[in-house]
Amino acid sequence: MPTPPGARRRLLGYAAPALAALAILSAAACGTGPADTPRITPGTSDHPRTVIVIARDYTFEPPVVDLVPGETVLVQVVNGGLVTHEAVVGPSPVQDAWEAAEAPTASAPPGPTPQVSVEPDLAGLRIVVTSGEREDIAWTVPPSAAGDAGGWFVGCHIPGHWAQGMVVPVRFVGSDGLPLATLATASGDTLRTARREGRSAASR
């Protein structure tokens, strides 16, 4: 049976937005490089900027976390995985300290996450989140963070999680969204590989 004219107009009306969205996505796919980082309004103590980190089994989203040195942020860590995860924010020495501190808990019996700690100057920011929950922490990025050799990372050091890929780099940017000049920064993949090689060498 032929489609009544009125129904045909309605169908076209529904299809138009979808076609427009498809055209936009197609145009974006034809681009030659990644999208620019949007302009950032640095957070303050009165108005912290929200930074959302999603933990899954076993990865983080987004793949790069943008921070402005000296700003105050509200870090929201959402655990979309089936097990407890954490987000440790800090440079390589902080990541190393938590990895070492949490390693002995690998043999802990089932139950609440064991209490662990590190020296205050190596604590960084640590947020532990159980499955299906969200934790919010207001935190001020150290003004000198961009000058730390080796870069900053967001990592999970619950035993075995880091080795399975739970680390992403921090990118320090200005309020214009452009990356700041920093010392050489390793990617999460580079850092994981270096540590795996170090453990292998130590076992030989």
| Cα gap 193→9, rounded to integer Å | 58
Backbone angles phi, psi at 138, to 5 degrees: -85, 135
Count the residues in the chain: 204
* Residue 37 confidence (pLDDT): 62
User: Three-state SS for 186?
Assistant: coil
* Residue 188 confidence (pLDDT): 54
* Residue 46 confidence (pLDDT): 97
pTM equals 0.74
**Amino acid present at 122:** L
* Residue 111 confidence (pLDDT): 64
Cβ atoms of 49 and 72 within 8 Å: the answer is: yes
- Residue-wise pLDDT for 76-123, tens only, equals 999 999 999 999 999 999 999 999 999 999 877 766 677 899 999 999
Q: Which residues in the chain show pLDDT less than 50?
A: 3, 5-34, 193-204
